[in-house]
Chain A
């Protein structure tokens, strides 16, 4: 006679947030620290009335998946290889399920499963653009254009800050004009990011804090490796910079409101802009042949641009000729008119994958 001794499986009662109460294998469920604690410390789970109340994030379907995980891993005899293989297959779920699983596992404090699913989610994020990530995870696109750029933009939207910036600019201009008159050297400021308070104090006459480095005391040692051989022309550093304050000529100032290009320009402004760009393009086009003349005749220019031949094999002549001829196609100018330029710009903008803020910038160029 044979007796088959079967091990009695014990069960515990759990209740999911939807109200459903069910029995689950105790050994398996106890793999979850949260359930384990409820059973051992709180004495729950022994009967239907005292079912372990599972966290809200655990619904019956997800519970089933988690228990599958636990059922496999709570068996002690398995090799690392087996476990790894199981895990790899286990996380082949759709994104939504994976998220639910991560969330649920976290609420049950099942750390290994949280790590496993988190890594899987991270892999789904890697290499994707923000748009693709949004699609994958079904997330709203709720950052504003400005926020996508950088928080600083937000700050300059504050009218108080904009006023300060304007005042600041005016103050600087005044300062410089004053300097011109006095012909005093302005100490180099090495300030950094200015907070609103800093700006206010500056405008009110406070001293800009010039904590900074006075240039290096070291003599410029010749850098060894990456040094020279970018062509033999070494830059002649004549310390001739005039220490006079800069002459601040204020070129035709376009009354753009604080340079905020997001704002709509009124038609008169647009017209002026268009005119300026056109004018400039025209000037470029007619100046070009003049420039060519300059290059061809000015020997000084050519000496600056070309290296002095040391082996004198006549190579200089060859290079000079090639360079000066400027091997250019017929119709030298790049853009015959503004339309061409605009067209090429438009083409560029439309064929290159832009980020949203790039499009904003290009608006200002009237494309």
Chain B
């Protein structure tokens, strides 16, 4: 078959094979397919930056145009990963600057990005279009200034090697800083966008604290006719929104700044008019410091909205419920628990197309509940919204009955993350563990891919998960389980498991060692404040050369304590790149030869 099929034709067939999984399968079929596939791969996803290396990437895929890399483990969001852990993007940028002059897109998540890296990005790629950084840190507004200044320029013939590309233009389309930790020197970087820059399609500066020049912003918005998504930062005052919105009536996604101002009729009117002029708006976000009087200004937009992100909005119940119930076409809602059970009832009644719900806690550390949000709200939504498939829910009480009801109502759930604020909280009605409830979830929801557990849980729940959670790819466990048996059930039963993160559970050596081969089929395992001994880590590191076993221990080298002492944190991941060179001095890589402390 292969001999009669010329490579260009095979490549053409592969151009219709899109997902990473399928392309990976294609590359494993036979030698010739491997070769054709690697030359035609344009888009790469690297889920763990230490699983491969820039050299390996470039050697195998010479013609990449779009790269997505993730760095720190997910638990970094909960401050469990110490500073200096790693995830530096600079080596990748250096290598790609050399090897991929035609790179168009860089997407990063939880990586450390320096100003140097940003400067290099801004200068190296002739056709650069997209820079999207989610939960990244390490850069300042100086780095952003570099991106802005070089976002649009022409290359003369002497810069380009190939003769038939006479001129190429770098036109940045997307600059997305999603929840990044930026060292804010000033908003001056924004003025670095040249006047010739008109290609912007998406801009997200919501995480920037400092003021950005409003005239510069207005001019930018006015001269970019393709602008579809604009998410402002808190510093942009409400009164300036009408000016911006009139210049960009074609917006599909908009994030306001602080949603507060003196209550003035003229401001209200102009705001309402401006919003109603945005006929294509589907997504709204922002809404810091909301003054309730101004909420009705967005009412005209509600029926067209599919995405509403109110996770920073301090809007309270009557206004919130009203707002939400006007959004009949809503598919995704992120909201604070101010929505309360009553608001969720309204949601369930009005938003039949809802696919995703996230409810965040407004006061997670308060001893008493400040809002009337209970498990009932979630049960209502699960009853009323037939398409609901993704849930993230913070609450203070839960019962097995509620979980079972949710499972029965919504067997189509694919993501279920429940965070009961109090660790080890039992079923508040029966005071039993929540094993049965979560068991119902995994049993009924056959396509469940992501699950986060909380509440009082014994090994039983893990038995259910191991038996039924065959499609679970990511599992988060905290303060749960009784013994190694729990971990053993998960590792031996969950066939599709890719990421497992555990904190404060009595899981130890046996389950880990008995299921060691499983670890090579997963992307990573995180265990902190568990009961894994240093000796077990050593054994694992010695026997499994394709795993990096990293012990994170700020008390000093693990060799200074006994073999049976527990390690603080453990991060195990599979890799083809070998030991990493950039570990800080509180991370120890367990190797076959010895323990490598400093790099």
Question: Is A129 an interface residue when CB atoms closer than 8 A count as contact?
Answer: yes
Report the bound CA distance from A148 to B557 in whole Å. Answer: 36
Question: Is B593 an interface residue when CB atoms closer than 8 A count as contact?
Answer: yes
Question: Is A226 an interface residue when CB atoms closer than 8 A count as contact?
Answer: yes
Contact partner of B588 among A100, A173, A246, A365, CB < 8 A?
A246
Report the bound CA distance from A195 to B98 in whole Å. Answer: 15
**Could you tell me if A334 and B483 are in contact, using CB atoms closer than 8 angstroms?**
yes
**Could you tell me if A254 and B542 are in contact, using CB atoms closer than 8 angstroms?**
yes
Which of A5-13, A28-36, A66-74, A133-141 makes up part of the contact surface?
A133-141
Contact partner of A213 among B90, B95, B511, B598, CB < 8 A?
B90
Contact partner of B557 among A172, A227, A246, A333, CB < 8 A?
A246
Report the bound CA distance from A301 to B33 in whole Å. Answer: 56
> Assuming the A-B contacts A229-B421, A248-B597, are A126 and B17 also in contact, with contact meaning beta carbons closer than 8 angstroms in the complex?
yes
Report the bound CA distance from A239 to B83 in whole Å. Answer: 10
| Cβ contacts under 8 Å, A242 to chain B | 556, 585
Which of A19-27, A86-94, A347-355 makes up part of the contact surface?
A347-355
| Cβ contacts under 8 Å, B518 to chain A | 348, 352
**Could you tell me if B88 and A249 are in contact, using CB atoms closer than 8 angstroms?**
no
Question: Is A77 an interface residue when CB atoms closer than 8 A count as contact?
Answer: no
Contact partner of B1 among A138, A192, A235, CB < 8 A?
A138
Contacts between chains A and B (CB distance < 8 A), count: 330
Closest residue of chain B to A233 (Cβ to Cβ) is: B504
| Cβ contacts under 8 Å, B59 to chain A | 151
| Cβ contacts under 8 Å, B421 to chain A | 229
- Please encode chain A, from 149 to 184, with 1 for each CB lying within 8 Å of some chain B CB and 0 for all others: 111110000000000000001001100100100000
Question: Is A240 an interface residue when CB atoms closer than 8 A count as contact?
Answer: yes
Which of B3-11, B246-254, B278-286 makes up part of the contact surface?
B3-11
| Cβ contacts under 8 Å, B514 to chain A | 334-335, 341, 344-345, 348
Closest residue of chain B to A220 (Cβ to Cβ) is: B83
| Cβ contacts under 8 Å, B90 to chain A | 190, 211-213
Closest residue of chain A to B553 (Cβ to Cβ) is: A241
Report the bound CA distance from A237 to B91 in whole Å. Answer: 28
**Could you tell me if A229 and B361 are in contact, using CB atoms closer than 8 angstroms?**
yes
Closest residue of chain A to B57 (Cβ to Cβ) is: A193
Question: Is B79 an interface residue when CB atoms closer than 8 A count as contact?
Answer: yes
| Chain A, range 213-252, C-beta contacts under 8 Å to B | 213, 215-218, 220-221, 223-235, 237-243, 245-251
Specify which of A152, A223, A245, A352 lies most central, judged by the most chain B CB atoms within 10 Å of its CB: A152
**Could you tell me if A287 and B564 are in contact, using CB atoms closer than 8 angstroms?**
yes
**Could you tell me if A118 and B4 are in contact, using CB atoms closer than 8 angstroms?**
no
**Could you tell me if B597 and A245 are in contact, using CB atoms closer than 8 angstroms?**
yes
| Chain A, range 322-367, C-beta contacts under 8 Å to B | 322-323, 326-328, 333-335, 341, 344-345, 348-349, 352-353, 355, 357-358, 361-362, 364-365
| B99 shortest CB reach to chain A, Å | 11
Report the bound CA distance from A103 to B112 in whole Å. Answer: 47
**Could you tell me if A186 and B599 are in contact, using CB atoms closer than 8 angstroms?**
yes
Report the bound CA distance from A322 to B394 in whole Å. Answer: 24
**Could you tell me if B582 and A189 are in contact, using CB atoms closer than 8 angstroms?**
yes
| Cβ contacts under 8 Å, B459 to chain A | 327
| Chain B, range 259-310, C-beta contacts under 8 Å to A | none
Report the bound CA distance from A310 to B515 in whole Å. Answer: 39
**Could you tell me if A225 and B311 are in contact, using CB atoms closer than 8 angstroms?**
yes
| Chain A, range 95-112, C-beta contacts under 8 Å to B | 96, 99-100, 102-103, 106
**Could you tell me if A218 and B53 are in contact, using CB atoms closer than 8 angstroms?**
no
> Assuming the A-B contacts A227-B77, A240-B554, A253-B593, are A259 and B545 also in contact, with contact meaning beta carbons closer than 8 angstroms in the complex?
yes
Question: Is B492 an interface residue when CB atoms closer than 8 A count as contact?
Answer: yes
- Please encode chain B, from 334 to 359, with 1 for each CB lying within 8 Å of some chain A CB and 0 for all others: 00000000000000000000000000
Question: Is A298 an interface residue when CB atoms closer than 8 A count as contact?
Answer: no
**Could you tell me if B30 and A143 are in contact, using CB atoms closer than 8 angstroms?**
yes
**Could you tell me if B1 and A150 are in contact, using CB atoms closer than 8 angstroms?**
no
Question: Is A39 an interface residue when CB atoms closer than 8 A count as contact?
Answer: no
Which of B21-29, B154-162, B236-244 makes up part of the contact surface?
B21-29
**Could you tell me if A328 and B582 are in contact, using CB atoms closer than 8 angstroms?**
no
Question: Is B164 an interface residue when CB atoms closer than 8 A count as contact?
Answer: no
| Chain B, range 51-90, C-beta contacts under 8 Å to A | 52-56, 59-60, 77-80, 82-84, 88, 90
**Could you tell me if A221 and B419 are in contact, using CB atoms closer than 8 angstroms?**
no
Question: Is A267 an interface residue when CB atoms closer than 8 A count as contact?
Answer: no
Question: Is A265 an interface residue when CB atoms closer than 8 A count as contact?
Answer: no
**Could you tell me if B4 and A100 are in contact, using CB atoms closer than 8 angstroms?**
yes
| Cβ contacts under 8 Å, A122 to chain B | 13-14, 16-17
**Could you tell me if B78 and A247 are in contact, using CB atoms closer than 8 angstroms?**
no
**Could you tell me if A362 and B517 are in contact, using CB atoms closer than 8 angstroms?**
yes
Report the bound CA distance from A229 to B452 in whole Å. Answer: 13
Closest residue of chain A to B5 (Cβ to Cβ) is: A103
| Cβ contacts under 8 Å, A195 to chain B | 55
| B49 shortest CB reach to chain A, Å | 10
**Could you tell me if A193 and B179 are in contact, using CB atoms closer than 8 angstroms?**
no
**Could you tell me if A364 and B543 are in contact, using CB atoms closer than 8 angstroms?**
yes
Report the bound CA distance from A103 to B78 in whole Å. Answer: 54
| Chain B, range 502-556, C-beta contacts under 8 Å to A | 503-504, 506, 509-511, 513-518, 520-521, 529, 531, 535-536, 538-539, 542-546, 554-556
Report the bound CA distance from A192 to B95 in whole Å. Answer: 9
Question: Is A65 an interface residue when CB atoms closer than 8 A count as contact?
Answer: no
| Cβ contacts under 8 Å, A206 to chain B | none
Contact partner of B78 among A133, A172, A227, A310, CB < 8 A?
A227
Specify which of B312, B365, B495, B514 lies most central, judged by the most chain A CB atoms within 10 Å of its CB: B514
Closest residue of chain B to A237 (Cβ to Cβ) is: B82
Report the bound CA distance from A255 to B65 in whole Å. Answer: 44
Contact partner of B577 among A137, A148, A193, CB < 8 A?
A193
> Assuming the A-B contacts A103-B6, A212-B90, are A176 and B598 also in contact, with contact meaning beta carbons closer than 8 angstroms in the complex?
yes
Report the bound CA distance from A122 to B116 in whole Å. Answer: 42
**Could you tell me if B30 and A355 are in contact, using CB atoms closer than 8 angstroms?**
no
Question: Is B125 an interface residue when CB atoms closer than 8 A count as contact?
Answer: no
Question: Is B447 an interface residue when CB atoms closer than 8 A count as contact?
Answer: no
Question: Is A142 an interface residue when CB atoms closer than 8 A count as contact?
Answer: yes
Question: Is A305 an interface residue when CB atoms closer than 8 A count as contact?
Answer: yes
| Cβ contacts under 8 Å, B17 to chain A | 122, 125-126
Contact partner of A215 among B22, B83, B503, CB < 8 A?
B83
Contact partner of A139 among B2, B25, B506, B586, CB < 8 A?
B2
Specify which of B4, B312, B394 lies most central, judged by the most chain A CB atoms within 10 Å of its CB: B4
| Cβ contacts under 8 Å, B31 to chain A | 142-143, 147
> Assuming the A-B contacts A122-B13, A334-B488, are A305 and B529 also in contact, with contact meaning beta carbons closer than 8 angstroms in the complex?
yes
Contact partner of A365 among B79, B88, B182, B516, CB < 8 A?
B516
Contact partner of A247 among B22, B365, B538, B559, CB < 8 A?
B559
| Cβ contacts under 8 Å, A327 to chain B | 458-459, 482
Question: Is A191 an interface residue when CB atoms closer than 8 A count as contact?
Answer: yes
**Could you tell me if B554 and A137 are in contact, using CB atoms closer than 8 angstroms?**
no
Contact partner of B88 among A212, A240, A243, CB < 8 A?
A212
**Could you tell me if A216 and B181 are in contact, using CB atoms closer than 8 angstroms?**
yes
**Could you tell me if B576 and A228 are in contact, using CB atoms closer than 8 angstroms?**
no
- Please encode chain B, from 141 to 182, with 1 for each CB lying within 8 Å of some chain A CB and 0 for all others: 000000000000000000000000000000000000001011
**Could you tell me if A223 and B179 are in contact, using CB atoms closer than 8 angstroms?**
yes
**Could you tell me if B597 and A246 are in contact, using CB atoms closer than 8 angstroms?**
yes
**Could you tell me if B394 and A229 are in contact, using CB atoms closer than 8 angstroms?**
yes
| Cβ contacts under 8 Å, B52 to chain A | 150
**Could you tell me if A114 and B179 are in contact, using CB atoms closer than 8 angstroms?**
no
Closest residue of chain A to B560 (Cβ to Cβ) is: A247
| A66 shortest CB reach to chain B, Å | 15
- Give 10 A-B pairs besides A100-B4, A130-B25 with Cβ atoms closer than 8 angstroms: A102-B13, A176-B597, A192-B54, A193-B54, A212-B582, A227-B79, A250-B593, A345-B515, A362-B517, A365-B517
In the A-B complex, the 10 residue pairs with the smallest Cβ-Cβ separation, listed nearest first, are A246-B597, A193-B55, A122-B16, A192-B91, A193-B53, A130-B28, A231-B423, A229-B364, A150-B576, A226-B77
Some 23 contacts from A to B, beta carbons below 8 A apart, are A106-B6, A122-B14, A147-B34, A153-B576, A173-B594, A212-B90, A213-B116, A217-B183, A225-B311, A229-B394, A229-B419, A235-B79, A239-B554, A245-B598, A248-B594, A248-B596, A249-B595, A280-B539, A310-B367, A311-B367, A334-B511, A361-B546, A362-B517
